[in-house]
Amino acid sequence: MRRQGYELADTEVNMTLDQFRNIYCNIDGSVSRSKLKFSARPSPEMIKKMTPIATPSNPDPKADVGTIWVEFLDEDQLGADQMRRFGKFCAHENHHTGILVSHVSVSPSAKKEIAKFAQWTSIEWFLEEDLLINITHHELVPRHVVLSREEKAALLKRYRLKETQLPRILQKDPVAKYFGMKRGQVVKIIRASETAGRYASYRLCV
């Protein structure tokens, strides 16, 4: 969440294993998933990045971001009922985004529930085992930088491109999910080069 731009206290991010156990584990050493829930607000920098460029028809655009709610599933299945309950909570509490982390696979019926809440809250789902390793730290994954709306507009203007002419990255791509990318956003990918030192390419999230 901090990498995406949400505000979190250092004590929430940097803690020892013993501190984590004291706060989030049961007496038998198992993790209490019901305690692993939190909300966070977007930083001013994130709000600026997610605010559309002002136009004559929309002189005071609103940022496409807000508070986020993160919760770990504390049940042995993730079906339509669980997803519906999670979506209703996020919508009722006015959370712009909700992330549900599960130790079991999501059912097809649960995936269908996500779209039903799209007008109130954006719901994302992650599998616990996919979060055990930070993929952006892998040596084979180049550096990714999500562009702001202004940076995207400047890029298209500089190269006289339409956004549909850019190579694409799927919203379900692991790195795109890591950064919480939305459709229409552009990511700058910086790779090492033996001749140029490094070079950048750009992809449109679809």
Q: How far is 191 from 6, CA to CA, in rounded Å?
A: 26
Q: How far is 6 from 66, CA to CA, in rounded Å?
A: 9
Both tokens of residue 21? 């156990």
The tokens 């696979």 sit on which residue?
Answer: 105
Predicted TM-score (pTM) of this structure: 0.84
Domains 6-131 and 135-205 share a fold: no
CATH number of 6-131: 3.40.1340.10
- Phi first, then psi: give them for residue 193, nearest 5 degrees: -135, 135
The tokens 């055990």 sit on which residue?
Answer: 132
pLDDT at 87 (0 to 100): 97
Both tokens of residue 22? 């004291």
Q: How far is 2 from 92, CA to CA, in rounded Å?
A: 24
Is residue 193 over pLDDT 90?
A: no
CB-based contact 110:79 (threshold 8 Å):
yes
Angle, nearest 10°, between helix axes 80-92 and 108-116?
20
User: How do the domains of the chain map onto residue ranges?
Assistant: 6-131, 135-205
* Mean of all residue pLDDT scores within the chain: 93
CATH topology of domain 135-205: Eukaryotic RPB6 RNA polymerase subunit (3.90.940)
Read off the pLDDT of residues 137-165 as tens digits, 9 standing for 90 and up.
888 899 999 999 889 999 999 999 999 99
